[in-house]
Every structure is written in C-alpha cells, then in structure tokens.
C-alpha cells in the first residue's frame, strides 16, 4: 500500500504541475493541435513516469536478491505493513476503502453511459446525410459523435445547419477525439480527489471543440451564421461524458476563440517547456527511489546469519538458516566484492544436514568452560570465496577466549563449499555463524563426576575426550524438557505453514510504531507432548509492546506434531526470534 500511495502522490503532483503550466503559458494561444498533444502527453506521462527508473544511470548497483532457506525455525520479520489479522477498521483501511468505492462507482457510471450510447446505436438507423455516414435518430437530441459514429436528427435542423454540424462532427470522428475524451475520463476517475485532474479533463474537451470549430470555419462556412447556430441550440445535453457534443459549453468561450487573432509561430517555442518539466519529475522520482534504498540499507546489519548451531554437552542442536534482507557488497583487501546475498547461495557439501552433522561430529565443549560453567553464543563471520574455500574467519561477538577459539577451530577446517554465484559467475559470499554453547544441569553434573574420576590434573586432550563422551548423552532438564531430540516437533504445514500462520496473525503494535520502536524479540517456549504451547516467555526483551505482541501470537499457535526421542513423545524447548522492523 505504501508504494501505491507514493505512486498516487507522484501522479497527482505531475498533473497539478502540468495544468499550472498550461494555464500560465498555453491557454490563450491558437495552436490547438499542439495544445491537444500537450494535454494528452501530460496526462499519459503523469501516469507513466513514476514507473520509470533512471536510477541505473545515476549509480550502478547489483540487483537486490533475497535467498530464504531453512531447516528449523527461520527468523520471522514483520513490518507495520505486514499481513496481520488485526482489525480491518483502521484509518488507513477506511481511507483506501472510500477511495476504491468512489473509483468503482465512477467506472460503473462510465459503463452505464457506454451502454446508453450502444443502445442508441441499435435504436438509430444507419444512413447517409449529405454524403456523410450518420446514425439517424427520431428523438429530440443534440448532435454528437462517438468515435466514428455521428448521431443526428436531421428534421431538427435546416440544410445549412446540418452541413455545419456534419463538418464539425466529422472533425471529431476523423481525428479520433473520442480517444482524448476517454483518457480524460479515466484520469478523473483514478484521480477524482484532485481538482487539477477535473480541470485538465475540461481543458481537453474545450480544446477538441476549438479544433472542430476551426475546421468548420476553414471549410468555408460563414463565421457569424455558425456562431448564431451554436447559440440557437438549447436542447438538453446528452447524458454522457463520453461523447463529443456539438453545443458543448461554454459557447461564449468557443465564439471568443473563433474570433481571436492567430498566435505567431514564434510562440511554439514555449511548448519546449514540457521537456525540462518532464526531466525534473523523472529526476525527483529517481532521487526518491535512491534515498529509499539508502534508508533501507542503513537499517540492515552488515553480517547475515546463515545458520545457528546450538552446542551443548548433550549434543549439537539443529542448524537454522536465516534469510538475508538485502544484498550489499563490500570491498576486501584484494578489491573483490563480498556479497551477502546472491542468486545462487553457496552450499556446504551435502547440504544443511551434512553441515549439521559436520558440526556435531567435530565441535567440542572446552573442559575449562564446562568446569567454570561458561555459556553463551559466539558469533563468527566468514567468507566462502569464489573457489568454495572458507576464509576471513573472525569473531563478531565474543563470549570467552576458549569458546571463541573452539568455534574458529571447527569452522577453520571445514571442507570447501560449492561457491555462490551471481549472474552465473562464482563470487565471494559473507556468512555469519552463531554458535551457542549451553550447559544443561544434568549434563553439568555428569561431566563434573567424570572429570573428578579422571582428575583435573590430567592432560587437556584427555579432559576434552571425557567431555566429548558426555556430549553424546541427550537428557531432559528437571522439568522433563529436551533441547535436542531424535525427531523435532513440526508445525502444521511445516515451516511454510508456520510463516503463513504468523503473517496472518501477528501485527505491529500501533504504540510501538508511533514511538519508532523496533528490534528483535526472542521468545522461548515448550512444545508439550500433546503438541500444545506451554511456558512461553521472553528470553530477550525489546519493549513491552513488542514483547506482549510476540507472546500473544506464540500462545495463540495451533498444536504442533510433538517431538520424539527414542520413540517416545517428549517435551521440546524452542526459541523463535521475531524481528520487528519499521520501514
């Protein structure tokens, strides 16, 4: 809706600007053909130019691509414009509803008028009058034309008056003036709230009559007799905005224009004004698009998480791949671009499952960290280069030197990936890997007992072997809740079903929007043995409004298919990150 609103604003701003130029510079001259071109081009350009982007001429950039893939729970991002099943009676929805209703009613009126013209065509009799094909009517009507059809009742006019009418209406028909009328009508329907649209449509009609009147006089008819004929026609106008009427108002203005002095050809130069006006509108439109792009990029992180591996002394948790929001590129020391999102993302050999297996088989929980009960999430950044090699490993967020070193060690001897590609060419791609080290109470006790048996004075490698053995034990906490199971719980419809359900049910709190509050809320919850959601709580808070909405939507979830461990249905703990982001 936001993009549509911007489009409507641009269209109507252009119409106002072109109408003001017309009134200031062009309305008094007699270049009716050029004026016709100016008016129609102004309307068409106003509707087309917001769709044209010259941003590529101003700055060259890579196309924005978004890659989304997941194994478990992706981060769910919502915006105020997200599809929430909140109350539809918001001020924005009401205004759009009123706008749409009026547009539909006006379109319906046009359809009724078109039906009325077709009905008259069926009712009338096609014949020739003074050598001109016409639709002869028996009722009392004002002569008018619609595309190639000329409607007239010859019994209401003298022979000379009929000749004037036919010369006038033939001009409308030959020059396809009905097309201009249609364009004017459509722009007033779509921009019904803009006075400039109605005024522009009026000027289009008047100028068409000036063209037809001028053709009558050029055909040799006596000007005063023709003008008296116009004044004499006082019939009710046809009930349609789609036709070209012979006596369209204002008659006084038409007579004044017929008697006006012809404008000198030097006056044509001022019509070149449309070029700088159009170029300025195009530039402003593209400038707005560039600013919007810069604003979006500023709000993005420079690191895009690929996968989150939760490492516990029981086992390594499932790998979670998070979608990136925007493609940005940076420069390395070798002057090679590093992409965060590409058309074809890099892939670990064997895919995400193989990556999870690699991490679980190779990462170890340092014994010193176990002894000192050090936990936390180490975030590593690394680059998969254009050959698939993992390079430029760095700690983005540290927890403790021993945990940092272990995370770097494992990532450092990863096998080569299948490199990412942009436009079919292998490129360097940056990823972020969060590795969460977490100790469960039962595992801590188990490890501590084994460490006491081995003896703390034993070599470090021996202690790490003991820890590795302990990691193979998946045990619940004191409440019987597992962090790792053989078969994970499944939301109805899988991940797509989960995101679809969230998009329909979550909303951005109005209070948070007013205060420009945004951020990532982490919600921890338990999927019980019957699949229901239990013990939902905020594990990382942003603001009470966002926290409350996150809890509300989690607690409203339908039942999942429960998880299983060793063929037994068990309780499983999950954490869902919900990113609230203002556009």
Lowest mean pLDDT among 21-25, 236-240, 256-260, 282-286: 236-240
- 303 or 571, greater pLDDT: 571
- CA 90, 96, 100, 101 dihedral sign is positive
Return the axis-axis angle of helices 195-218 and 159-174, rounded to nearest 10°.
Answer: 130
Parallel, antiparallel or unpaired: strands 563-565 and 390-397: unpaired
Residue-level pLDDT at 243: 61
Which H/E stretch holds residue 532?
Answer: none
In sequence order, the β-bridge partners of residue 390 are 384
In sequence order, the β-bridge partners of residue 338 are 330, 428
In sequence order, the β-bridge partners of residue 556 are none
Residue-level pLDDT at 535: 92
Tell whether the model's pLDDT for residue 471 goes beyond 50: no
Q: Which of the listed ranges 314-323, 524-533, 565-574 does the model predict with the highest average pLDDT?
A: 524-533
In sequence order, the β-bridge partners of residue 132 are 129
How confident is the model over 34-44, as a mean pLDDT?
Answer: 91
How confident is the model over 112-139, as a mean pLDDT?
Answer: 88
Residue-level pLDDT at 261: 76
- 517 or 444, greater pLDDT: 517
Residues 6+ apart with CB under 8 A from 105: none
- 451 or 157, greater pLDDT: 157
Q: Mind listing the pLDDT tens digit for each residue in 61-92?
A: 433 322 222 223 444 444 454 444 445 667 88
Token representation of residue 438: 């977490």
Tell whether the model's pLDDT for residue 461 goes beyond 50: no
Parallel, antiparallel or unpaired: strands 390-397 and 519-527: unpaired
Q: How confident is the model at residue 236 (pLDDT cuts 50, 70, 90)?
A: very low
Q: Mind listing the pLDDT tens digit for each residue in 431-458?
A: 777 777 776 555 455 544 444 433 333 3
What distance in Å separates the CA atoms of residue 222 and residue 211, rounded to the nearest whole number? 17
Characterize 272-296 residue by residue with b for buried, 16 or more Cβ atoms within 10 angstroms of its Cβ, and e for exposed.
Answer: eebeebbeebbeebbeebeeeeeee
Among 75, 72, 70, which Cα is nearest to 490's? 72
Parallel, antiparallel or unpaired: strands 337-339 and 425-438: parallel
Backbone φ, ψ for residue 465 (5° rounding)? -65, -40
Residues 6+ apart with CB under 8 A from 368: 374, 402
Parallel, antiparallel or unpaired: strands 519-527 and 420-422: unpaired
Residue-level pLDDT at 413: 84
Return the axis-axis angle of helices 195-218 and 32-48, rounded to nearest 10°.
Answer: 150
- 1 or 49, greater pLDDT: 49
Tell whether the model's pLDDT for residue 185 goes beyond 70: yes
Tell whether the model's pLDDT for residue 417 goes beyond 80: yes
Tell whether the model's pLDDT for residue 500 goes beyond 60: yes
How confident is the model over 550-555, as a mean pLDDT?
Answer: 92
Q: How confident is the model at residue 195 (pLDDT cuts 50, 70, 90)?
A: very high
How confident is the model over 14-21, as a mean pLDDT?
Answer: 91
How crowded is residue 147: how many other Cβ atoms within 10 Å of its Cβ? Answer: 17
**Torsion region of 130: left, alpha or beta (phi above 0 gives left; psi -120 to 50 gives alpha):** left
Backbone φ, ψ for residue 438 (5° rounding)? -140, 135
Q: How confident is the model at residue 342 (pLDDT cuts 50, 70, 90)?
A: confident
Specify burial of residue 259 (Cβ count, 10 A radius: 0-12, 13-18, 19+): exposed
Residue-level pLDDT at 179: 92
Backbone φ, ψ for residue 390 (5° rounding)? -85, 120
Note whether 144 and 113 are within 8 A (CB): no
Residue-level pLDDT at 566: 84
Mean pLDDT rounded to a whole number for the chain: 75
Q: What is the DSSP string of 266-286?
A: GGGGGGGGHHHHHHHHHHHHH
How confident is the model over 525-552, as a mean pLDDT?
Answer: 91
Backbone φ, ψ for residue 370 (5° rounding)? -65, -45
- 412 or 367, greater pLDDT: 412
**3-class secondary-structure state, position 338:** strand
Token representation of residue 380: 């590593």
Question: In 299-432, where does DSSP find H-type helix?
Answer: 352-362, 367-371, 401-412
Residues 6+ apart with CB under 8 A from 92: 1
Specify burial of residue 500 (Cβ count, 10 A radius: 0-12, 13-18, 19+): middle
- Cα-based distances in Å from 228 to 169, 234, 253: 17, 12, 14
**Torsion region of 165: left, alpha or beta (phi above 0 gives left; psi -120 to 50 gives alpha):** alpha
Q: Does the N-terminal peptide bond of residue 105 adopt cis geometry, omega within 30 degrees of 0?
A: no
Q: Mind listing the pLDDT tens digit for each residue in 372-389?
A: 788 877 888 889 999 999
Tell whether the model's pLDDT for residue 395 goes beyond 90: no
How confident is the model over 44-73, as a mean pLDDT?
Answer: 53
Residue-level pLDDT at 575: 83
- 201 or 27, greater pLDDT: 201
Residues 6+ apart with CB under 8 A from 416: 349, 387, 388, 389, 390
Model pTM? 0.47
- 67 or 302, greater pLDDT: 302
């Amino acid at each position: 809706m936001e993009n549509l609103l911007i489009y409507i604003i641009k269209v109507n701003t252009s119409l106002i600007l072109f109408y003001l130029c017309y009134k200031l510079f062009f309305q008094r001259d007699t270049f009716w053909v050029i004026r016709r071109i100016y008016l129609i081009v102004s309307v068409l350009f106003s509707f087309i130019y917001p769709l044209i982007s010259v941003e590529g001429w101003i700055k060259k950039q890579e196309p924005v691509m978004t890659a989304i893939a997941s194994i478990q729970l992706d981060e769910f991002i919502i915006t105020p414009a997200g599809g929430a099943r909140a109350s539809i009676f918001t001020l924005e929805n009401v205004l759009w509803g009123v706008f749409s209703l009026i547009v539909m009613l006006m379109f319906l009126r046009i359809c009724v008028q078109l039906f009325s013209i077709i009905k008259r065509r069926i009712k009338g009799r096609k014949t020739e009058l003074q050598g001109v094909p016409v639709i002869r009517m028996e009722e009392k009507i004002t002569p008018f034309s619609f595309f190639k059809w000329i409607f007239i009742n010859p019994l209401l006019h003298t022979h000379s008056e009929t000749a004037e009418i036919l010369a006038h209406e033939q001009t409308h028909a030959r020059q396809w003036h009905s097309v201009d009328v249609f364009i004017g009508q459509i722009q007033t329907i779509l921009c019904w709230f803009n006075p400039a649209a109605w005024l522009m449509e009026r000027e289009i009609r008047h100028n068409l009559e000036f063209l037809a009147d001028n053709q009558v006089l050029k055909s040799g008819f006596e000007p005063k007799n023709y003008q008296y004929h116009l004044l004499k026609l006082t019939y009710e106008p046809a009930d349609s905005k789609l036709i070209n009427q012979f006596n369209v108002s204002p008659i006084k203005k038409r007579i004044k224009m017929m008697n006006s002095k012809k404008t000198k050809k030097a006056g044509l130069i001022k019509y070149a004004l449309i070029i700088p006006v159009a170029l300025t509108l195009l530039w402003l439109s593209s400038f707005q698009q560039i600013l919007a792009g810069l604003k979006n990029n500023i709000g993005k992180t420079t690191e895009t998480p690929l996968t989150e591996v939760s490492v516990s002394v029981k086992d390594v948790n499932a790998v979670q791949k998070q979608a990136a929001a925007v493609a940005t590129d940076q420069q390395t020391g070798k002057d090679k671009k590093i992409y965060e999102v590409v058309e074809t993302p890099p892939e670990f050999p064997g895919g995400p499952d193989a990556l999870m297996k690699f991490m679980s088989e190779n990462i170890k929980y340092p014994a010193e960290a176990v002894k000192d009960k050090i936990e936390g999430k180490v975030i590593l950044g690394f680059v998969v280069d254009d050959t698939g090699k993992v390079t430029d490993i760095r700690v983005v967020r540290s927890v403790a030197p021993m945990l940092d070193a272990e995370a770097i060690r494992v990532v450092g001897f990863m096998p080569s990936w299948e490199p990412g590609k942009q436009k079919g060419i292998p490129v360097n791609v940056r990823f972020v890997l969060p590795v969460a080290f977490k100790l469960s109470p039962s595992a801590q006790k188990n490890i501590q007992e084994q460490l006491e048996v081995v003896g703390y004075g034993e070599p470090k490698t021996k202690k790490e072997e003991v820890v590795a053995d302990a990691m193979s034990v998946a045990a619940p906490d004191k409440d019987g809740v597992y962090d790792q199971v053989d078969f994970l719980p499944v939301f109805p419809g899988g991940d797509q079903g989960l995101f679809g359900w969230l998009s329909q049910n979550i909303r951005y709190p109005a209070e948070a929007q007013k205060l420009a509050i945004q951020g990532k809320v982490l919600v921890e919850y338990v999927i019980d043995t019957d699949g229901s959601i239990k013990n939902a709580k905020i594990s990382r808070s942003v603001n009470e409004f966002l926290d409350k909405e996150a809890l509300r939507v989690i607690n409203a979830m339908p039942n999942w298919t429960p998880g299983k461990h060793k063929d037994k249905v068990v309780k499983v703990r999950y954490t869902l990150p919900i990113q609230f982001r203002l556009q």
